[in-house]
Amino acid sequence: MVENEGGEMVGEEIRLLGKVIITGKIETRTGLSIGGSRAGLEIGGVDNPVIKDVEGKPYIPGSSLKGKMRCLLERAERKELTTSLGKARIHVCEREDDYKKCCVCKIFGLPGEKEFGGPTRLIVRDSFLTDESAKRLRELPTDMEYTEIKFENAIDRITSAANPRQAERVPAGAEFNFEMIYNVFCDDDKNDLRHVFKAMKLLEDDYLGSSGSRGYGKIRFKDIEVFWNPIKSYESGELRKITINGDNKTPEELIQNFDELKGKMGNEV
């Protein structure tokens, strides 16, 4: 139930049936650039530094991954962009009846001021470099410890003057561990899980981060594992992590064999 401004309880009761845990690796197929802070840059430094953790290693913020997946699914589902969040326009359902039929808003969430709706289904963690990738990147003959510098030139069409710049990016072949948690509250949520895999496949055929039209940001999801944790496993403390994806390790395979995967998500409550 949701409390409106008048203190009345409206909407349907929300009851967690279980959680789907999706893990695997994100591999960069071309250089990846997700911007970080420019604070403290020296003269002659890179123009576009990438975001890094406290150890100085590049990582993929969960917000960047989730935001791009939402954007691509909005386009694929032909959703109208209705709400401005800062400089970005996104789709947000304006009526409760529309929300109940909208996979985008149910999966990725609604702004907090809405009086209808429910909890966000999809949680996306930050993705960090695998130990193997961190070691390999440190051994590469690049100017940076874990990243590379790409030199680019913009040429003035009239004067032919060059405007050189240096962009920092994660080299192709780097791998990041990823984890997504998908909350299931009803049978419709089980059906909507297909759209999560659809968004992942759309992202593989698009780009992550900046400068995608110039070749940056091509990624792929690999070694995917999908687990089902029914609510009983949390109540008993016996988390079984039931694997439900079998030999399907890519978004495309998960979509093709979704009915088989869904059938392994029992109705245990």
pLDDT in tens, 162-216: 777 788 999 999 999 999 999 999 999 999 999 999 999 999 999 999 999 999 9
**What pLDDT is stored for residue 1 in this prediction?**
43
**What pLDDT is stored for residue 45 in this prediction?**
54
**What pLDDT is stored for residue 116 in this prediction?**
84
Asked whether residue 69 is assigned to any structural domain, the reply reads: yes
**What pLDDT is stored for residue 10 in this prediction?**
45
Structural domain including 94 reads 16-263
Asked whether residue 10 is assigned to any structural domain, the reply reads: no
Asked whether residue 11 is assigned to any structural domain, the reply reads: no
**What pLDDT is stored for residue 66 in this prediction?**
97
- What is the mean pLDDT of the segment spanning 138-156? 85
151 vs 91, higher pLDDT = 91
Q: Is residue 267 very low, low, confident or very high in pLDDT (cuts 50, 70, 90)?
A: low
**What pLDDT is stored for residue 240 in this prediction?**
64
Distance CA 167, CA 183 (A): 38
pLDDT at 7 over 90: no
Asked whether residue 7 is assigned to any structural domain, the reply reads: no
Residue 258 Cα distances to 174, 220, 245, angstroms: 29, 19, 9
Asked whether residue 9 is assigned to any structural domain, the reply reads: no
Tell me how many helices (H) and strands (E) the chain has: 8, 13
13 vs 207, higher pLDDT = 207
SS3 26: strand
Asked whether residue 223 is assigned to any structural domain, the reply reads: yes
Q: How many domains does the chain have?
A: 1
pLDDT in tens, 36-72: 555 444 444 566 789 999 999 999 999 999 999 999 9
Q: Which of 235, 231, 205 is nearest to 217 (CA)?
A: 205
Asked whether residue 227 is assigned to any structural domain, the reply reads: yes
Asked whether residue 268 is assigned to any structural domain, the reply reads: no
pLDDT at 12 over 60: no
| pLDDT more than 90, % of the chain | 65
Strands (E) in 4-130, as ranges, are 9-10, 18-28, 59-60, 83-85, 88-90, 122-124, 127-129
Q: What are the helix (H) ranges across 79-175? A: 96-100, 103-108, 131-139
Maximum mean pLDDT: which of 83-87, 89-93, 157-161, 165-169: 89-93
- What is the mean pLDDT of the segment spanning 248-256? 97
**What pLDDT is stored for residue 86 in this prediction?**
75
